[in-house]
Structure 1
Amino acid sequence: MKSKLTLRIEEELIEKIKKLSKEKGYSVSKLVESYFKSLTGEEKKELTPTVKKLKGLLKNKNIKEEDYKKHLQDKYL
């Protein structure tokens, strides 16, 4: 069940939060709820859209640690 909560916050901070929420595509209420959940340890770790797309991509692939090390050497050396 959701309930209404009134907060007293400096106007300048409210404007910053509104801007951030618009950029993130979340409501201010959702941002505050998420923050409170993180404080209480109840926050569920959500995957970002990019990670969701990549999840399971390498499933059942035979990639060895040596292959990855070689990839890094080729990339950075």
Structure 2
Amino acid sequence: MSKKLTLRLDEDVIERAKEYASERNTSVSRLVEAYFAVVTEKDGDRERASFSNTTRQFIGVLEETNEGDYKQHLEEKYMEEST
């Protein structure tokens, strides 16, 4: 059963997500769903063969990133924009 979810995102992120989705013949909703499916999976339950190609693209992305790296990325990004 599908259900509506409203998200608030930066306009630039939304536009890039739309472009990314369009290039892959999918929708932003499907990208978000695939992302959420991966990040909420328990490692022992993950069966990669059952994932769509879009979902497989996200597997391992968060495992390679930690909160400190992301915080540093944001600080650098917004420091560059303010100068």
TM-score (norm 1): 0.55
Residue number in structure 2 paired with 1:12: 12
Structure 1: 5+ residue stretches without partners: 49-77
Counterpart position of 1:65: none
Q: Max radius of gyration: which structure?
A: 1
Counterpart CA distance in 2 for 1:3 and 1:15 is 23
Shift of 1:47: 5.7
Q: Distance in 2 between matches of 1:18 and 1:26?
A: 9
How many residues align structurally?
48
RMSD: 2.2
Matched, 1:46 2:52: yes
In 2, the alpha carbon distance for the partners of 1:12 and 1:39 equals: 23
Name the structure, 1 or 2, with higher relative contact order (CA <8 Å, separation 6+): 2
**1-side partners of 2:29 and 2:53: how far apart?**
20
